Structure 1
Amino acid sequence: MFDESIIDEYKILQNKDRRKTIRIYLFVSLPFIVVAIPFLVLYNKGVWAVTMFWSFFGTALLMLLIFGLMLINHAGSKPMYDYLYPKIIDIINSETKNNLHYESGMDKKSKDFSEYELKGGLFIKAAIHTTWFTINFDKQDKQIKVASLKIFNRGNKGQEYIVFEGTYFVFYTTNNSYFQLREKQIGKPWHKHVKMKKIDTQDDIKEYIVEEGTGNNFIDRRYYDLYDFLKQREGRVYISGIPGEIHVALDSKANKFVKAIGIRKISVDKLFEVQQRIMEIIDLSDRIVQIIK
């Protein structure tokens, strides 16, 4: 069960993170204020001094206003993924038969999940891959890794283009072939050293296998069954097979873990929501194993 001490500690950590963020915002704004000071001294020297002063000082004020509005709903990722999630995982382990091993993506000592994810060849390597956290566990004698993952690119003007944001699964199996299943309009395989070709046996799915002479020339029916099952959950579905592993990526709100929670919104009910979403993903992993075993 949850108690108020978890919430109290979380608020302390969020306030600490907020103060750090405020210092960063002030540091970014400070150069504009410093440059504006000489023009304040020369304020009565002419219109040019007035213009220059308000150009720099006004920019600093505008930046601080924007930063202030951003801080209203500020929710730091580090307190969420370094403190709150581990606490909830410990509670789940104590109340259930699950033995979940949690690794925060904020921890520099933890192994970068992209090393596992990129092997699946589902997403382009030349993008920014951010792992919030990874959970490792076993289901029906199958080792499983589940990660909360975001992949994105930045445009010339700094705008963010989301490639993938959702939950990524790695199932360690006896699969011995390369293949991929994805929606018709979504991308292609990104394997670096494996050449794949497109086949057409389904109207609504992109299907890829390795070129002739290098592996199986078909995709096992159970993976089509898995695709159909996952499509019932809404959102985009990606499935990749590589020797010894099956990778599944689910991109939709229904398939995401709860993100960082702000101080104003944290409550026991929110903690239960985080716990419930974790259990839903763990149960989904069990269903997937039942289909592909």
Structure 2
Amino acid sequence: MENKFETLPESRQGQLMAFDRLLTIMDDLREKCPWDRKQTMETLRHLTIEETYELSDAILENDLPEVKKELGDLLLHMVFYAKIGSEPSEGKEYTFDIADVLHGICEKLIHRHPHIYGDVKAEDEQAVKQNWERLKLKEGNRSVLSGVPASLPALVKAMRVQEKARGAGFDWDEKAQVWHKVEEELQEFKEHYDIDTGEAIDKQEAEAEFGDLLFSLVNYARFVDINPETALERTNKKFIRRFQFMEEASKADDKVLHQMTLEEMDEYWNQAKAAGI
């Protein structure tokens, strides 16, 4: 009987061999390493979140060697979870291994792409998204928003629920309408916050209106093809670089940052901007 893998291109055979090597190492570690033996899905969870953020940082920095490294770390975690899932234990009624995981995602991708593997037509990205959401509802989802994780950071969650709602046809027609909404929400926030005194007229209402304002800004960002999470994180990184420049430059001038006036600090800030930092 012909071995299917022997007929594959050498590059694919190499990929499969590399994956097999990782699975073999994972088997060894789970059996022989005290730390690896001790881990559970719960103990790995926070480490996986950390690795995901490290990958995100590498992507934003366009550091491809670091992206490769972080992808490896995340792939190790996926294999680790599958290894734990395959181990029978007392009180555990269900087990799965890495093959179950891979077959599961393959079947889902085939089912969710009928325009590739079936006879459904999808002429553009929006049609693909709408088909995707309709299929998820047929699979038993009670709402198009049920697939949005409750623990997502608020900014990311706002973007995802808006994308999901758009997939169901609930969205603005023109970006000008969305910007009008931004201005409307800004005005409503001002009505609950005294700009001159800096005090909230009604703290609870001001917070609610500020949330509406942020939500509408996220919505507008989506309409002009800007990822608000990426945009804000780039600004965070830029602020950190410039602030650290201020700290180092003022120290070189024998000055203490917290003893300087805002005008003096602003000079260093402008130096950072002029230097392209």
Structure that is richer in helix per residue? 2
Relative contact order higher in (CA < 8 Å, ≥ 6 apart): 1
Indicate whether the TM-score tops 0.5.
Answer: no
Structure that is richer in strand per residue? 1
Given the two structures, how large is their TM-score scaled by the length of structure 2? 0.21
